Amino acid sequence: MDFGAVLQTNPPSARTVQLAKLAEEHGFSHVWTFDSHLLWQEPYVIYSKILAETRKVIVGPMVTNPATRDWTVTASTYATLNEMYGNRTICGIGRGDSAVRVTNGAPTTLKSLRESIHVIRELANSRSVEYNGATLQFPWSTGSKLDVWVAAYGPLALKLTGEVGDGFILQMADLDVAEWMIKTVRNAAEAAGRDPMAVKFCVAAPMYIGDDIEHMRDQCRWFGGMVGNHVADIVSKYGTDSAVPKALTDYIKGREGYDYNEHGRAGNTHADFVPDEIVDRFCVMGTADQHIEKLKALKELGVDQFAGYLQHDNKEETLRVYGETVIPALSEHIVAKA
């Protein structure tokens, strides 16, 4: 299992770079960031600094969207970073949440998402592509490599992921939901004539090492509020009696709006509706042994990477314990099964 750290690009940018370097020192293979250009600093600028000051870590957004930037600009950014630092980027992409809603916009259609994935991936892999009636290719790009991993929750978005995604990003660590979504994506991949095992699976959720459960819940409750925005879209489209697991849809009944100015922040007052049970199910909290137990269960379901959000007050200690205890234990787990 690979491990990623998910950061917010809050100023000072040097702090983001510092945490990225610390993550690499502790054995994390990926550094992801939020991507909302109004709420936080521009991530792609900071990626360049991170890549310059690290050796192997792979960087990318969790997640970008088709609406914020022209797709060719996004692809050019990846191809440029890859030329500068040697194919150490990855693209996480979804329909759009905070980046579009904060401007009173809406998530893009699945059709736009599908098309953007194709255009970004082809151009960023130094290949030609049809775009707006023209055949385009970066004449300066050779040998660039980029995988595109899709963040999804709803049935049609999961189907799209299986059909075209190099990977699937599930933003929660609920075991029951993960099992259902992984199966759904794999079935879609197989139906599309793809190798279902070739699609990588990433579970992304807050990781907090500690022993004060009430404090950890309060620090991570924001995540249930963030996920609730996507769940609300699903319920609006499919109702409460769809194939989506009840664990994912029932908890938002008490939701009364959301302030994106508090998006992804510990202490978010718009996440008070999220019950303790959901925080426990969606996040990875507790002692190192408790983290290892849950991550092993996710690994058994087919999860290839766990990406831990660090939007809380115990960042450095959590990274340290992962590096010294959790990551080695999961590596030993994999060896033991071989």
Please, what are the domains in the chain? 2-210+286-330 (3.20.20.30)
User: How far does Cα 5 stand from its chain's mean position?
Assistant: 10
In this structure, are residues 271 and 256 in contact, taking their beta carbons and an 8 Å threshold?
no
Omega before 164 cis (within 30°)? no
In this structure, are residues 138 and 126 in contact, taking their beta carbons and an 8 Å threshold?
yes
- Amino acid in position 311: Q
Is pTM beyond 0.75 here? yes
Question: In the chain, helix, strand, coil percent, each to 5?
Answer: 50, 15, 35
CA atoms within 13 A on the CB side of 111: 0
Grouped pLDDT means (10 residues each) for the chain, 338 residues: 97 98 98 92 97 98 94 98 98 80 77 97 98 97 98 93 98 92 97 98 98 97 82 65 70 63 67 89 97 98 98 98 98 50
The confidence score (pLDDT) of residue 75 equals 98
DSSP 3-state of 135: strand
| C-alpha distance across the termini of the chain, in Å | 13
H helices, E strands: number in the chain: 13, 11
The confidence score (pLDDT) of residue 235 equals 63
